[in-house]
């Protein structure tokens, strides 16, 4: 019985060590941008402008038609997303408390989705 317990413990240790050497590969990366630093294009497929941090250089990326849009974790169309951004920006208080999450494919560097997190009125 003791030998079975020791064998099981040794096997668990070996398997745990083997898994520790696994390589993680990034499939996407993200940027969290204050809403006041986001410039949404007037039409889908346009160029999105943003400044990722205070003092950082402004960036511009094309928003391909495959880009997904979310407002407070709810999937929306581009038009609904743009309207939510405009509503949030119309109030300085809401705009200052809002963020946009930009998600990029690691391999192609293409924008895959953009998420607005804002305390919008219902």
The pLDDT value given to residue 97: 92
CA nearest 116: which of 30, 27, 34, 28? Answer: 34
Instruction: Judge whether residue 40 has pLDDT over 90.
Output: yes
What does the pLDDT look like over 80-121, one tens digit per residue? 999 999 999 999 999 999 999 999 998 888 899 999 999 887
0.85 surpassed by pTM: no
Q: Compute the average pLDDT of residues 24-38.
A: 88
Q: In what order do the strands lie in the sheet with 74-76?
A: 28-34, 99-105, 111-117, 68-71, 74-76
| Residue located via tokens 């064998």 | 7
Residue 16 exposed, middle or buried by CB count within 10 Å (0-12, 13-18, 19+) = exposed
| Average predicted confidence (pLDDT) for the chain | 84
More confident: 50 or 11: 50
Alpha-carbon separation of residue 31 from 35, 59, 81, 82 (angstroms): 12, 11, 18, 19
The pLDDT value given to residue 5: 47
The residue extents of the domains of the chain are 26-117
């Amino acid at each position: 019985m003791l030998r079975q317990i020791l064998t099981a413990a040794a096997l668990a240790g070996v398997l745990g060590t083997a898994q520790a050497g696994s390589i993680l590969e990034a499939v996407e990366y993200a940027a969290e941008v204050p809403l006041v630093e986001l410039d949404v294009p007037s039409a889908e497929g346009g160029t999105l402008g943003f400044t990722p941090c205070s003092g950082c250089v402004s960036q511009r990326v094309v928003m391909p038609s495959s880009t997904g849009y979310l407002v407070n974790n709810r999937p929306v169309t581009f038009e609904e997303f743009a309207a939510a951004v405009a509503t949030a920006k119309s109030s300085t208080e809401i705009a200052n408390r809002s963020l946009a999450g930009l998600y990029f494919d690691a391999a192609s560097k293409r924008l895959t989705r953009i998420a607005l997190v804002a305390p919008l009125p219902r």
